[in-house]
Amino acid sequence: MGQKLKTPKGEISITNCEGRIRLRWRYAGERYSLNLPYYFNPENLHFANVKVAEIKLDILRRSFDTSLEKYGYLPTTKPIKAKKDLSEATKQEKLLFLNDLAAKFNEWAKHFRNVDIDNSIDYLYIRKWLEKRIQVPIYSIAERLNSEIWAVTTYNRRLSYLNTFLTWLVDSGIIERNPLKDVCKKREKRKIKCSRRNPLQENEIVSFLDAIKNDTHCPTSSRFKHSHYYPFLAFIFHTGVRNAEAIGLKVKHIDFESSQIEISETFARTIKGTNHASRIEKGTKMQNVRYLPLSTELSILLEPLLENKKSEDFVFVSPKGLTIDDKMLKRRVLKPVMEKLGLGDRDLYAARHSFGTRAVQQGMVLTEVAYLMGHSTVETTMRNYVSVTKPATSLPIISRLG
């Protein structure tokens, strides 16, 4: 075994501490370490790098907070156990029931996860779930979770959130142990793909977009023509972006000089609805930034939409000047036109699946497809768009040497 290499002097190391991310560094002759409330995996290293950049910047500015409170996470030193006497017991009251955890969960989500609970379905549901478990001991939480009739992905996601939350409570000295520490995630059965998201063939896409552009199936009594939504729908079919990414696209994201489109923000729906007033500005689903080539066809499509607009204005808007409500668009435009064309009941998300399928079928490199679609890993692309059921017609060739 070789000697373990040390982190270069002045650098902040990112390490694995019992499955979670830990930062360690030296400053002014003192050692510091900080635990982040994220599992140590490639998807979460982004959060570690953001925190590292923040700490380094403060060190350069000579505004480093030696108490670490500014950085929003707990130092790795374990809390001192309280002495067993009445005075200490009254200072730190132990939480015994699930409904007692609701307020602490709210605090953790707001200050440590930086989440607006009222606009996040999972976090809001968990808080309400805790509030309703009156007089239920916290150490029966695993049993209560397993009794819920949730989808496997929903169960695993909420288990992960609660697990991290309870670990924070342990580190804070509020509870002695995490009752979910050894609970495993459920295995997900093979998904049956939703037919409403099945990809469209190229001729079907052309037929649909022509019908929208020419108002072929638009009722004569309709106040707003289908053709108003043609640029928005054509953009999604051409780029494969997510609905909220297209809805949140702004003028500043279109760069005609460098011929590229920046996808870095979304105007996401919340539990309040899908209309303009209910949406909030967020980063992309994977918190990444990607740049799509701005083709000649897209340039012609987008140029008229950007006239007399400011950099912060949305590119695609409704006839009333608000952002597009994709739910109402599906109900009033997409579904009726698809049925008239004999294409069945399809979601707008079918445009994204059509893009991914088309890209793979046309021989694009998987890493390029993954990048264009904003996937965190190539495995996601392979799982959704690469099929191995088609029989092979030939074997790979080995060229003769010499």
Residue 296's CATH number: 1.10.443.10
Do 162 and 218 share a domain, yes or no? no
209 part of a folded domain: yes
Q: Tell me what pLDDT residue 173 has.
A: 85
User: Between β-strands 20-27 and 13-17, what pairing exists: parallel, antiparallel or unpaired?
Assistant: antiparallel
Q: Tell me what pLDDT residue 85 has.
A: 45
Do 60 and 90 share a domain, yes or no? no
Do 240 and 325 share a domain, yes or no? yes
Domain of residue 126 covers 86-171
Which tens digit of pLDDT belongs to each residue from 45-73? 878 888 888 888 888 878 888 888 777 65
What average pLDDT score do residues 196-205 get? 90
Angle value at C-alpha 384, between 43 and 45, nearest 5 degrees = 5
C-alpha to C-alpha distance for 357 and 238, rounded to whole angstroms: 12
76 part of a folded domain: no
User: Residue 77 pLDDT > 50, yes or no?
Assistant: no
Greater confidence, 68 or 92?
68
Q: Which of 9-18, 121-130, 174-183, 197-206 has the lowest mean pLDDT?
A: 9-18
Do 159 and 233 share a domain, yes or no? no
The last residue of one of the domains, among 134, 156, 171, is 171
C-alpha to C-alpha distance for 358 and 295, rounded to whole angstroms: 17
C-alpha to C-alpha distance for 65 and 60, rounded to whole angstroms: 12
7 part of a folded domain: no
User: Residue 80 pLDDT > 50, yes or no?
Assistant: no
190 part of a folded domain: no
Q: Tell me what pLDDT residue 398 has.
A: 65
Query: DSSP assignment of 180-197, as one string?
Result: TTTPPPPPPPPP---GGG
What average pLDDT score do residues 20-31 get? 86
Greater confidence, 10 or 354?
354
Point out which residues pair with 137 in neighbouring strands: 97
C-alpha to C-alpha distance for 136 and 147, rounded to whole angstroms: 14
C-alpha to C-alpha distance for 33 and 71, rounded to whole angstroms: 12
80 part of a folded domain: no
Do 291 and 376 share a domain, yes or no? yes
User: Residue 42 pLDDT > 80, yes or no?
Assistant: no
Per the structure, the count of domains in the chain is 3
Q: Tell me what pLDDT residue 401 has.
A: 47
The last residue of one of the domains, among 48, 71, 94, is 71
Do 151 and 17 share a domain, yes or no? no
Best mean pLDDT range from 190-199, 257-266, 376-385: 257-266
**Half-sphere exposure at residue 227, Cβ-oriented, CA atoms within 13 angstroms:** 5
139 part of a folded domain: yes
Do 131 and 94 share a domain, yes or no? yes
Q: Tell me what pLDDT residue 54 has.
A: 85
Which tens digit of pLDDT belongs to each residue from 208-241? 999 999 999 999 988 899 999 999 999 999 999 9
Do 153 and 260 share a domain, yes or no? no
The values of phi and psi at residue 370, to 5°, are: -60, -40
395 part of a folded domain: no
Do 96 and 156 share a domain, yes or no? yes
Which tens digit of pLDDT belongs to each residue from 338-397? 999 999 988 999 999 999 999 988 889 989 999 999 998 888 888 887 765 556 666 666
2 part of a folded domain: no
Q: Tell me what pLDDT residue 46 has.
A: 79
Query: Helix (H, G, I), strand (E, B), or coil: what is residue 382?
Result: helix
The values of phi and psi at residue 209, to 5°, are: -65, -35
Do 275 and 155 share a domain, yes or no? no
Do 331 and 290 share a domain, yes or no? yes
Greater confidence, 108 or 3?
108
Q: Tell me what pLDDT residue 104 has.
A: 92
User: For residues 323 and 276, is the Cβ–Cβ distance under 8 A?
Assistant: yes
pTM of the model: 0.61
Do 135 and 221 share a domain, yes or no? no
Which tens digit of pLDDT belongs to each residue from 278-325? 999 988 988 889 999 999 999 999 999 999 999 999 999 999 999 999
